[in-house]
A and B are shown apart, each in its own frame.
Chain A
Amino acid sequence: MNGTIIIIFLAMIGLGFIFSILRMLLGPTASDRAVAMDTITTTVVALLVLLGFVFERYVYLDVSLVYSLLAFVGLVALARYMEKGI
């Protein structure tokens, strides 16, 4: 795969991270920060698969699968905590 195209893809994902981190820093309520966290974790799953293709490591797919599972459990626990407390 051409090197310029993969640099453009990674730069677009990094530009998206800047917007979500800004929203996480200046969000008014706790729900805004939870939504920004959800968006960042879903983007990181795609980024790990793309980096595994760039570096030609098969292990990154396993890391991506376990990361998405842990992010799902963590976000459901966070929403449950915001709703009524533990």
Chain B
Amino acid sequence: MEIVGIIITGIGVLFLMLGNFGVFRLPDVYNRIQAGTKCTTFGTFFTIIGVGIMQPDWFWKCLLIAVFVLVTNPISSHAIARASKKIGVELCERSVVDKTTFFNEYKEPK
């Protein structure tokens, strides 16, 4: 049972490192949001579940923390992406398509 926990924790830690490296590497704000949110959500979930498998007394609280991160992390990243689109952060030059042009004529309701 401990070997399974070590393997799952190793997968999670590897994804955490790759997500942080993607935040440094990618050329644009929106690409960085994608790398920094998807990889760290997956990595945090697997790391905490792996610790809960290695230490069976802690499993339910570990599951609670993992589900909380799994729910709240996409909400905060969506808020940051929406804010950076509305204040007019440019896409990088190699972008192909941008389907959110309706934000340019967005007016506040009176």
Contacts and interface: CB of A to CB of B under 8 A. Distances in A.
B92 to A, nearest CB: 11
Contacts of A52: 51
Given A42-B41, A46-B43, A82-B84, A35 B58 contact: no
B83 A80 contact: yes
B96 interface: no
Q: Is the interface of A mostly helix, strand, loop or mixed?
A: helix
**5 A-B pairs with least C-beta separation:** A16-B20, A31-B84, A79-B79, A19-B24, A39-B36
Interface of B: 2, 6, 9-10, 12-14, 16-17, 19-21, 23-25, 29, 32-33, 36-37, 40-41, 43-44, 47-48, 51, 54-55, 58, 61-62, 64-65, 68-69, 72-73, 75-77, 79-80, 82-84, 86-87, 89
14 contacts: A16-B20, A36-B23, A38-B36, A38-B37, A38-B80, A39-B23, A45-B65, A52-B51, A53-B54, A61-B65, A69-B72, A72-B75, A72-B76, A82-B83
